[in-house]
Structure formats: C-alpha cells, structure tokens
C-alpha cells in the first residue's frame, strides 16, 4: 500500500478573539494537523471545543491569529474564501444554506455543474443535462429525480440537504467540509443522507472532514477520528486504532 499524499497541513494554528482585552479567549490552540488525500475525518468535540472555527479556518472564512496553512505545499493562510472555494466545498447544518430557494432543482444543479467556469450568455440547455442530473440525484435521494422542475423551497429538509450535498460534490472538490450536515434532519432522513454521503466519498475518492455530534456515526464512518477539546487536538485515531474504539471510549471524553 502506497503512502497517501499530503493535501493540507495546519502548523501551529491559533485563533484568539478579543485579543489584548480582559475578554481575550483562545478558541484554537496550537493546532498541528495533516490531512492526507483520501482521508475521511470525523471531528468530535463538546460545545465550544472549536470544531466549527476549525472548519471556518480551513475554508478561509476566517484568518487564524497565528500559524500557517499549506495546501499541496503552498502557504494559503492569506488566501481568500472565494479563491479557496475553487477546491474546497462545504455543506452546512442548515438545509436552507447552499441552494437557491426560488430556482428549481435542475437549475440549482446546473449552477453546480458550471461552478468555476467563466460566465456567458449561452443558452442554459437544461434538457441536455436532464438524464445526468436524474442519475446523480437518485444517488443521494430516491425522491429527487421526480422533483427536477420543483422550486427548492418546496422540498423537505432532507431532500434539500441531499441536494446541497450533491451540489457541493458535483464537481469533485479537493476537500469537502461537512459541518454537522445531518444534524437538523429527522433520524430517518439523517441516516439516508449519511449513507449517501459515505457512498459518494468512497466512490469519488474524496477527502473530507465531517463534524458530527453522533458518536455512532463517528465510529461507523471514516478512516480517522479526531477529538477536539478546548481548541486542541487531544486524540487522533487512525486505522485499526479507530476500528477498536467503542461508544464507551468516546463517551469518556464528554463525562
């Protein structure tokens, strides 16, 4: 088995808010983390552990107070969120984010299919994409192919989040960030989307970091499990060490 290439690396990354005041607080503390191509990392931690802040730093939504971020060996700590969006995709917890509500399912997918391309006044040619769109929609939710011409704001939460996930992965991103993307769904919809998520990550050989509060999912999915506590990486389980973990092991971190 060949060693996987390094995709992204954080070196001594810290995030401090209210710096220099009596309310100064460190949200991230000396984060040193290497993400390799093909990693599917589940990120666990209690409230305030720094999970979403870490994803915000990776996406370029916020700049760390100190430290460096390397993407394929290049320091991108000063690179904007817009520029990083050409190779980093993100799905948020809220199903309303990530889609255009008044546009149809097909129109939203066309936006995803043309992400990163130069805009022009050419005809959309939605019909030309119909068969491909239906095929891809069926992979994430069996009800979506029949809703191609339905406005997104008419979809259920589970359907809308499945569409958001498909849009984020339609043009294979180098890094996929999943910010508790099943947390707002009912148990049945959450289970279906999580299964579709895992299938797509494996079939497309995606690199992904997923925040989850469901310990069962953290055990079941991914090849790495990272535990954050008070802004620090306190555990990084990989391979057989992750496979050997139990719910009791994880629960002990939150006692």
Cα 141-36-232 angle, rounded to 5 deg? 95
Q: Which residues form the domain of 141?
A: 100-167
Q: Is residue 221 part of a domain?
A: no
Q: Are the CB atoms for 168 and 154 separated by under 8 Å?
A: no
Q: Is residue 59 part of a domain?
A: no
Q: Is residue 176 part of a domain?
A: no
Q: Is residue 141 part of a domain?
A: yes
Res 20: pLDDT: 80
Q: Is residue 139 part of a domain?
A: yes
Q: Are the CB atoms for 65 and 29 separated by under 8 Å?
A: no
Q: Is the pTM of this model over 0.75?
A: yes
Q: Is residue 174 part of a domain?
A: no
Q: Is residue 120 part of a domain?
A: yes
Q: Is residue 110 part of a domain?
A: yes
Instruction: State the angle between helix axes of 105-113 and 126-140 in degrees (0 to 180), rounded to the nearest 10.
Output: 100
For the stretch 124-173, pLDDT in tens is 677 778 899 999 999 999 999 999 999 999 999 999 999 999 999 999 99
Instruction: Provide the domain count of the chain.
Output: 1
Res 127: pLDDT: 79
For the stretch 30-64, pLDDT in tens is 999 999 999 999 999 988 899 999 999 999 999 99
């Amino acid at each position: 088995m060949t060693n996987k290439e390094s995709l992204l690396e954080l070196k001594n990354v810290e995030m401090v808010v209210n710096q220099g005041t009596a309310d100064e607080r460190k949200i991230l503390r000396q984060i040193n983390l290497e993400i390799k191509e093909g990693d599917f990392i589940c990120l666990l931690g209690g409230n305030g552990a720094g999970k979403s802040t870490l994803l915000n730093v990776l996406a370029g939504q916020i700049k760390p107070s100190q430290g460096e971020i390397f993407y394929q060996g290049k320091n991108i700590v000063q690179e904007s969120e817009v520029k990083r969006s050409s190779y980093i995709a993100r799905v948020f917890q809220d199903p309303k984010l990530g889609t255009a509500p008044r546009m149809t399912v097909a129109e939203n997918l066309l936006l995803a299919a043309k992400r990163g391309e130069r805009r022009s006044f050419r005809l959309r040619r939605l019909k030309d994409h119909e068969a491909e769109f239906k095929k891809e929609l069926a992979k994430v939710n069996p009800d979506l192919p029949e809703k191609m011409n339905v406005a997104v704001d008419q979809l259920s939460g589970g359907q809308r989040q499945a569409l958001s996930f498909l849009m984020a992965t339609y043009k294979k991103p180098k890094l996929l960030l999943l910010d508790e993307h099943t947390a707002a769904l009912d148990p049945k919809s959450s289970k279906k989307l999580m299964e579709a998520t895992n299938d797509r990550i494996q079939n497309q050989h995606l690199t992904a970091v997923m925040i989850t509060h469901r310990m069962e999912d953290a055990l079941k999915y991914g090849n790495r499990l990272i535990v954050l506590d008070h802004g620090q990486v306190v555990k990084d389980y990989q391979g057989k060490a992750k496979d050997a973990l139990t719910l009791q092991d994880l629960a002990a971190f939150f006692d």
